[in-house]
Amino acid sequence: MKNLFLLCFALALALTTATLTAFGQNPQPASAGSTASPMPLSEGEIKLLRSDLRSEKKKLIALNVVLSVDEATKFWPVYDQYVGEMTKLHDGFYATVKDYSENNKTWTDAQAAAMLNKWVTFQLEEAKLRQKYIPLVEKVIPASKAALFFQIDRRLYLLLDLQVSTLHPLTTQ
């Protein structure tokens, strides 16, 4: 578990650095009168970043959820299926965040309410997807290892969500 903490910390640090670099920001306070605004990443850059993070996520899970050869043979295909479904779900979430960050200054209250509904729906669908996969994972590995996997998985998805949120900062009307 110490490995997980250290790796998550290193990943979070790398994500923060990448975000600041991507926006040409310096973590130090801006000088007075500065009007520079961050430049958003291109779709290709975001896609590559997400792919790299998913690859690192799999490595972190492999390092922390110790599986026998038989367990690994059964677990990883289920994991890949789960990640495929979760990725599709997160694609919608990322599109919603991007749409909000690019357009919210011109949105009506009804449009803002629709965005909030999309966000809440995403949260519910993510929970339902995990609920669907818990018994599938428990069929291929012991419940104690499944619990550890889902704890690690949730923390890593939180890091991914944080990364996306920082790529599209809060804005005001």
71-108 pLDDT, tens digit per residue, is: 999 999 999 999 999 999 988 888 887 888 787 788 88
- Nearest CA among 40, 155, 134 for reference residue 94: 40
pTM of structure:
0.70
**Residue 16 to residue 24: CA distance in whole angstroms:** 12
Give the whole-angstrom CA distance, residue 124 versus residue 58. 24
Mean of pLDDT values over 50-69: 86
Q: Using a pLDDT cut of 70, give the percent of the chain over it.
A: 65
